[in-house]
A and B are shown apart, each in its own frame.
Chain A
Amino acid sequence: MSKPYTLQELLVIAVAKEIHDYENVILGVGLPTTAGALAKALYAPHATLMMESGIIDFKPLLPLNHIADAHSCRGFSYATDLFSAFTMTYRGFVDVCFLGVGQIDKYGNVNTTAIGDYYKPAMRLPGSGGAADFMSYAKRTVLTMLGGNFVNRLDYMTSPGYLEGGDSRERSGLFPKGSGPCMLLTTKGVFRFDDVTKEIYLSQIHPRVNVEDIKMEVPWDLKIAPDLSETPRPTDEEIEFIRNFAPAQSAGRELALELTVANMMRKAKVI
């Protein structure tokens, strides 16, 4: 039996496994960076990690503060600009990108802009950033939803998933053939999309979670994979990598913040 792990570590690993060797990968801040670093260290040493700020082919040594964080690495291979980072995606050179989710619907369409009325929002979220364009043109998109919700109807559609399902994404003529979301990760499980209907279904379930917990969060009758499995237990190597690379990620946001503040207070008293 491998050593004990935290839920956050399990989540990073589930995402990292979506990166295959020799792929070109657009990373976002937070969990995806740690996943990218893990993938490059253990599963995909030749993957080219990229950020939309134009930092191309870097090896993260630290978790990123933002998508223009060249302080997280020691140099990189190619310094280009944001415009070119998007047009290289448009031309089909990006295999996989990672995006966060505020709201998601049955067909993987995503809202990261506003909850409630767009003009008088109950909650104003960040917006598109790179999301809408990356989700349009990356060959695959991996979605992560740590605080968001499944909804029947998005309050605002920021990024295109499979539109109305079926072949509607392809029929629109706006997107490369075969592109779209390939996975959604939440704190409870891993979801994928049906090949034909493009409806989201539960594919893996994390430990200490049961299917009913997940169904309660989904406002429609969620489909479950016939071969539903439990998210695989991390190996020692994976756990150790993440814990060393991004200890605050292992701890989770709340605990990391609490410990950081406590540490600062301690230091302040010493002075």
Chain B
Amino acid sequence: MREPADKIMTAKEAIGRFVHDGDQLVIGNYTVGSCAELVYEVIRQGKKGLTLYSQSGIFDVEVLVGAGCVEKLVTTYVLRAGGKKGGSAVERALNAGTLQIEDYTNFDYNARMVAGMHGFSFMQVLEGVMATDLFRKRSFMGEDKFRVIKCPYTGKNILTVPAANPDVCIVHVQRADKNGNAQYWGAMGSVAAASLASKRIIVSCEEIVEHDIIQSSPHLTIIPAYRVDAVIEIPWGAHPTEVLGYYNIDPFMYGLFMMSDATADGLKSWMDEWIYGCVNRAAYLDRYIGRFGSEILDGIRAKAFYSAPANYGSAFTTRWDREGRERFMGLTMAELEKTFQERGKLYE
């Protein structure tokens, strides 16, 4: 049972209240539409000692590691800027000994979230990995990175991964209502599992919508209200990545980031300007438009391609017909009550 607290707040309040030093933090989004503004707020608040779960690391993991928020990283894929001559925050931190990493396959990582989402303590994964260094090379998880058990039905060796239940998930979606029902569509990836596996959930969205919208499209809801701790409306909240139906990826800002990320100094000056230098997303957008004009953003705004509405209607929504007769018994309320009386059904 949840407290009747108001869940609508700012990113600053949400990250301040629900993300703590030393937490296991999962970025709920996968490759597209990363929760950029929530990530930036974690950095601005200088959170430390995080164990970061990321299905597929892009600029989001780079800036969190570059800012020194992360001690341990569980992932399947990291970004490297500038090819052979370039570099990455993850690579630099590994070399400096300030970051430990566990590498999984996409499937293994997702299986850990699915196990966590359903309350299972482990999940069977695809055993081919046992022939690789993904299985053999282990860091902070040690023996518990993978374990092998015997299938009780076939006798075959089965590879398993432990469930993950991160302390807190940050996730960006298209829309949510004030209760926290979060709707997301497009590449489903592992977004729902990462969110639902977590103990606390912070949702940012492009738009907060009326509950009626949610009620008429429940198939789009990926996180039910009762699981959500905070709802933050952040237009352009995933920029420079893309949100289907709202905007495309911004190759210009992404390019600026990639050019900077190859060196520690470059990344620091990029973060000084675009993360530390902007108190929130509105300030970030002001700075962006101030420096580059609004043409780039206007050019990546989505043109509408609406999904066909699904009909959730039924024949009637009350047991009484237009003449006030109960549909099956054919009686009005007065007639029904008279029948109750005659049959001795009523307790005076």
A residues engaging B (CB < 8 A)? 1, 4-7, 10, 20-24, 46, 48, 55-57, 61-63, 70-72, 74-80, 83-84, 87, 90-91, 93, 95, 207-208, 243-248, 250-252, 255-256, 259-260, 262-263, 266-267
Contacts and interface: CB of A to CB of B under 8 A. Distances in A.
B346 A77 contact: no
B153 to A, nearest CB: 20
A240 to B, nearest CB: 9
B347 A93 contact: no
Given A75-B218, A77-B214, A250 B340 contact: yes
20 contacts: A5-B346, A7-B347, A24-B1, A46-B4, A56-B224, A70-B312, A71-B315, A74-B313, A75-B312, A77-B179, A84-B118, A90-B118, A91-B118, A95-B1, A244-B318, A244-B319, A244-B320, A247-B319, A251-B329, A256-B329
B2 A251 contact: no
Given A83-B118, A243-B333, A48 B339 contact: no
A159 to B, nearest CB: 19
B269 interface: no
A78 B119 contact: no
B156 interface: no
Contacts of B333: 243-244, 247
A79 B307 CA distance: 17
Interface string B88-132: 000000000000000000000000000001111000000000000
B319 A78 contact: no
Q: Is the interface of B mostly helix, strand, loop or mixed?
A: loop
Nearest to A206: B347
Interface of A is mostly: mixed
Nearest to A63: B319
A61 B347 contact: no
B76 interface: no
Given A251-B336, A266-B330, A78 B345 contact: no
B154 interface: no
A1 B347 CA distance: 12
Given A20-B1, A62-B319, 14 more contacts: A4-B347, A46-B4, A71-B315, A77-B215, A77-B221, A77-B225, A79-B219, A79-B221, A91-B118, A93-B227, A244-B319, A244-B320, A250-B340, A259-B336
A5 B341 CA distance: 10
| Residue of A83, A87, A208, A247 with most partner-chain B CB within 10 A | A247
A208 B226 contact: no
Contacts of A244: 318-320, 333
Given A57-B181, A84-B118, A255 B4 contact: no
B3 interface: yes
A243 B219 CA distance: 32
B330 A48 contact: no
A256 B312 contact: no
A172 to B, nearest CB: 18
Contact of B347 (A6, A46, A80): A6
B118 A87 contact: yes
Nearest to B214: A77
B13 to A, nearest CB: 21
A236 to B, nearest CB: 13
Contacts of A251: 329, 336, 339-340, 345
Nearest to B335: A259
Most buried by B among A21, A83, A243: A243
Nearest to B328: A260
Given A75-B218, A77-B181, A247 B226 contact: no
Contacts of A84: 117-118
Contacts of A56: 218, 224
